[in-house]
Structure 1
Amino acid sequence: MFVGHAVFAFALVAGAAAIRGVDSTRALSLGAVAAAFAAAPDVDIAYALVGVVGAQTTDALSVASQFWQTGNLVHRAMTHSVVVAPIVAVAAALWLRGRRVGRRRGLVAAAALLATVVAVAAAVSGGLGLLVMALFAAAVLAITEATERWTDLGPRATFSAALVGLLSHPFGDLFTGSPPAMLYPFDATLFADRLAFSVDPTLNLLGAFGLELLTIWAGLLVALHLSGYSLRDAVDGRAALGAAYAVSVLLIPAPTLELSYPFVFSVLAVGMVGAAPRVGIRSRRVELPDRVAALCTGLTAVSIAGVAYAVAYLVA
């Protein structure tokens, strides 16, 4: 869900802005800021690099397994809290306001809030908590600085976009892996188990994959609408080649949330069909698709491939 978190926040915020009649440029800015903040909680996965560096093998699957085993020691914990999110969003708004008007008071207040959050994490989770939350605070400040530099959004708009992004993130994680510690630093559980689409582990994985695709489609359609592009004109007929992926049901292990790499990497590779050059039969000219056409065709191919695999799995 790394990509899905950001795309969902973008679709939610930019789509709502478009419905309210906000001009496309501002709606895109709001969506982009929300997307950036929605991705910020996953900075905690940086700790997984410790496991990769210490891995005693070069086997790709083993390294990936070590990556997640190490990362899950802190992943979806302190940075995924709905208690912490509003405080961080307020800090971002105060920092932006201080940068906009040139007053140190706002910067000091924002720094104090973030320092408090880091200190609480250190008190509750020790040195690891301090390290992870400090990375999170740094990511938040970096996003806020980018917002100040590249957009004209004010503190209130930034607060709203940041809050939506930060709060939406942990709920997206309920479908994969262990449930986030949403009430951190309090010792209380909001969701004890992840949400499942099916008792069949493969269908459960395919359900999560389908949800991710729907999220990406939502974000793409909002972006196309705000940018004035037509989806019909952007999708090439070669996307239908994704149906051939159905044969992979015989070639790769049945995917689950615990063993998803062969399926995920191979089905995403199908999307490369969107970037493949087109050769004119009559003109014999090679034409490269533009970025929008490549993205839309590739995503359509991946979607068709996912559906084809699901059908083949049910029939097999």
Structure 2
Amino acid sequence: MTPPVGVAPEGAGGRSSSEGSGGAPSGATDEGGSQVDGGAEVDGAVGEPSRVVRIIAIGDTGEGNLAQNQVADRMSEKCLAVGGCHAVMMNGDNFYDHGVLDTGDAQWGPKFEQPYDRPGLNGLPFYAVLGNHDHGPSSSGVRQAQIDYSLLPLGDGPGTRMTDKWRMPAAYYDVRVGHVHLFGIDTVDFTSDEQAVDMSARVAASDARWKIVFGHHPRYTSGAHAADNQQLGLDGMFAMQRAIYCGADMYMCGHDHNLELIDKGRDELCPDTYFAVSGSGSKTRPRLASAPNEPGQLFYNDETEAFAYLEFEESVLRFEFIDKQGAVIYAKTITK
């Protein structure tokens, strides 16, 4: 059955496995013992890998500016045009410049609830991960507010949230949307092995047809942060990322305010993993003139705010970058 236009299929929140640290809610369980987000399953897509799953990926959205709203308009229009999307991945830096202080922070409206109050987006779960700005000043603990917001009841008064779009059950977690398994990670917190051990085990155990890991920081990038990858001593973060994305079909991220797709084979230890940057959800940043293109680069753009659209069938992934004017500026079909 085709989902209603602009509305995710019933229970599009997806099947969620046990979640990482951060006060995850306790949901209903299915017969296999897996946690089910909201007590409902994804449409008929679960168990039917030939069904189409449509997911949007955006990053670095948290400005509340005109560009963010323009991108949101185009996201809505895309979902309406294809007969309904199933979920949105948010790649971090959800609130500039220092995250949100608490669940009642005034930024929740103009930087999240209002921009994504669109016909094609209402009813969709927005699965979010933390960026460096979301962690706030060092050791401030503000990241917990984004996790806690997921737990609030719906309403229009204090201690409530306007919609149930926002989904961040923990700092790292996974959720199954039909035959697509999403693994959200916290790339800012890489000082212990707990996340890498936990999430790599989940990726390895998944029998999903498609596995997508999404976090904030890129492993490979041709953007403005390319120099950081060589200069900032990020080996610990890279090791954590690799432990998790190795075995996944794609690692999706933000941080650089641009668009990029790098072919599989870039990481010789994980030869089947593509690398994508979708970090221009509200602004762009030009790269250094001297920055070289990453080996295996298939596409790069830092001139327009945009989002990524991913459409999964059993053996085909249709990948698009769509700009704030609605133009498809890049498209690739990936098969497996």
TM-score (structure 2 length as normaliser)? 0.26
Greater C-alpha radius of gyration = 1
The structure in which a higher percent of residues are strand is 2
When the two structures are superposed, what TM-score results if normalisation uses the length of structure 1? Answer: 0.28
Structure with higher helix content: 1
